[in-house]
Amino acid sequence: MITSKVNYLGKLRTQAVHERSKQEYISDAPIDNNGKGEAFSPTDLVSTALCSCMMTLMGMLADRENIDLAGMSASVTKIMKADPRRISEVIIHFDMTTVQATINQRTKLERAALTCPVAMSLSKELKQTVHFNY
- How does pLDDT run across 84-109, given as a tens digit for each residue? 999 999 999 999 999 999 999 999 99
**DSSP of 38-103:** SS--HHHHHHHHHHHHHHHHHHHHHHHHT---TT-EEEEEEEEETTTTEEEEEEEEEE-TT----H
Cβ–Cβ under 8 Å, residues 30 and 41: yes
Q: What superfamily in CATH does domain 42-133 come from?
A: K homology (KH) domain (3.30.300.20)
Which whole number is the average pLDDT over 4-28? 97
Global confidence as pTM = 0.95
Domain boundaries, the chain: 4-33, 42-133
